[in-house]
Amino acid sequence: MAALPETEQLRERARTALRRCGAEGLAEGSGTGHTARTPITGETLFELAPAGAAEADRAVATAESVFTGAWRDTPAPERGHLVRRLGELLREHKQDVADLVTIEAGKIGSEAAGEVQEMIDICDFAVGLSRQLYGRTMASERPGHRLMETWHPLGVVGVVTAFNFPVAVWSWNTAVALVCGDTVVWKPSESTPLTALACHGLLMRAAADVGAPEGVHRVLIGGREVGERLVDDPRVALLSATGSVRMGREVAPRVASRLGRYLLELGGNNAAIVAPSADADLALQGVVFGAAGTAGQRCTTQRRLIVHEDIAEDFTGRVAEAYTKLRERIGDPFAADTLVGPLIGEGAHRSMGRALQAAADEGGSLLTGGARRLEDEAPRAYYADPAVVRMPRQSAIVCEETFAPILYVLTYRTFEEALELHNGVPQGLSGSVFTRDQREAERFLSAAGCDCGIANVNIGTSGAEIGGAFGGEKATGSGRESGSDAWRAYMRRATNTVNYSTELPLAQGVSFL
């Protein structure tokens, strides 16, 4: 593998990308001491001024006044012009934003570019949506009456995002919220402030280009305390937060206590079942990308492999062999031949070590991986060999999401047992089955099958497209983002009854006066 880049090179690359996206000087907080760092070397890139209480208050006030003063009354297709322009700018600056994603989140080049592509795709989707915010007309039970529903903008949407999809998740929320007529205040992950500033910069340029008010969007750099301000602010009509289950447990009761709305996209603990009839080559590709891709740092990362006992030895051996080959391809995420970049930081590396120890204590045997890499070259960066651990049962550690590349292997005898294992964890984001048996495939997709928000056949757990609604069940949270009819979460529904008769008949035949 090539040597890791110098921090100064990365700093210069980040500076160039920020300048090109019009994002220099956009962090305008009054606080001190927020660092932008890179997991590639583990070093600090820049010191930023985080937002304080005053900036958070001002951001929400601006977003609210632009909402009531202009944006909610702007025709939706015209709101779509802003999102179309954002999509054009993202196409133009795809490499700049992808560079920042790699620098701050450590994603390899193709995944970082893929993340920006997802932003472009959702912009296209949202522009189409801007002419399709349909309401229904229902048959009224009363003569001379029309019964219908209309969808109205909701207000200020607070968007809180995680480090591992630093820009795509923002765009799923923001592109849709903007065409729906909402304004947005974004609190990005503390680990990825630069990508956030770049996106804000591009959106501000788009607003200037199409004549939209710049207050449709604000960004607040900072830690969880900044997110908490959005959580508690009654002017925030919808709080859309993506992150760990721990974060969701803190956020949900606080938003609920002010009877606000929330949309939570939380942790997953995703599994793939590999049946005896599976196309083993295809399953192998799906499992290795799902489990080791993005260094195990996707919400949809495959964390459990549930393989039929008749093929377990052979299939697990092939997975372990593929992992051995991956070892030569761990390192600088900018290098063309790298497949596994760094973990986000020391905390992730510690969690990985703790989980591997717990797995051993619970009877697991490590088949491959787990070692720290490149420590001499970059003592503050954390690279790890993706690990595979054979487990005797679905013990406590297997039921947790450890945000690192660990794949637990479990075996099954009957398909019912496989489903039970599959669904036997608290989380419910994504699941898949590799099988050529149609009965198994259909059973997996049925009401009594996979209990996740995303259920796949002959494709891995990770790598969703924007056209579908994205989200999970159980501890993964509630609500859906991105495609399909997820837009409804960003609007309020009004049921309207219009009487065009000369009588006033009451519903259900009630008579009065």
Near ligand NAD by CB under 6 A: residue from 60, 177, 247, 272: 247
- In the complex with ligand NAD, the residue whose CB is nearer, 57 or 377, is 57
The terminus-to-terminus CA distance of the chain in angstroms comes to: 87
CB of 344 to ligand NAD, least distance (A): 7
Angstrom distance (rounded) from CA 27 to CA 8: 21
Q: Does residue 476 belong to the site contacting ligand NAD (CB under 6 A)?
A: yes
For residue 228, the tally of other CB atoms under 10 A from its CB is: 17
CB of 495 to ligand NAD, least distance (A): 31
Near ligand NAD by CB under 6 A: residue from 72, 145, 224, 329: 224
Near ligand NAD by CB under 6 A: residue from 7, 164, 302, 432: 164
Q: Does residue 162 belong to the site contacting ligand NAD (CB under 6 A)?
A: yes
Q: Does residue 299 belong to the site contacting ligand NAD (CB under 6 A)?
A: yes
Q: Does residue 215 belong to the site contacting ligand NAD (CB under 6 A)?
A: no
Q: Does residue 227 belong to the site contacting ligand NAD (CB under 6 A)?
A: yes
Q: Does residue 266 belong to the site contacting ligand NAD (CB under 6 A)?
A: yes
CA dihedral 493, 476, 299, 290 (to 10 degrees): -110
Q: Does residue 160 belong to the site contacting ligand NAD (CB under 6 A)?
A: yes
Instruction: Please compute Rg for the chain using Cα positions.
Output: 24
Question: Letter for the amino acid at 129?
Answer: L
- In the complex with ligand NAD, the residue whose CB is nearer, 207 or 252, is 252
Range in contact with ligand NAD (rule: CB under 6 A) among 82-90, 130-138, 164-172, 208-216: 164-172
For residue 243, which of 3, 453, 505, 477 has the smallest C-alpha distance? 477
CB of 179 to ligand NAD, least distance (A): 21
Angstrom distance (rounded) from CA 385 to CA 377: 16
Q: Does residue 250 belong to the site contacting ligand NAD (CB under 6 A)?
A: yes
Near ligand NAD by CB under 6 A: residue from 38, 242, 316, 482: 242
CB of 164 to ligand NAD, least distance (A): 5
Near ligand NAD by CB under 6 A: residue from 64, 121, 190, 332: 190
Point out the residues that are catalytic: 265
Residue 363, classed as helix, strand or coil, is: coil
Contact 219, 49 (CB under 8 A): no
The 10 Å CB-count burial string (b at 16+, else e) for 470-499 is bbbbbbbbbbbbbbeebbebbbeeeeeeee
Give the helix ranges, DSSP H, for 258-382.
Answer: 280-292, 309-326, 346-361
Written as six digits, the tokens of 358 are 């717990």
Angstrom distance (rounded) from CA 43 to CA 41: 5
CB of 232 to ligand NAD, least distance (A): 9
Binding site for ligand NAD (CB under 6 A): 160-165, 169, 187, 189-190, 223-224, 227-228, 231, 241-244, 247, 250-251, 265-268, 299, 401, 403, 429, 472, 476
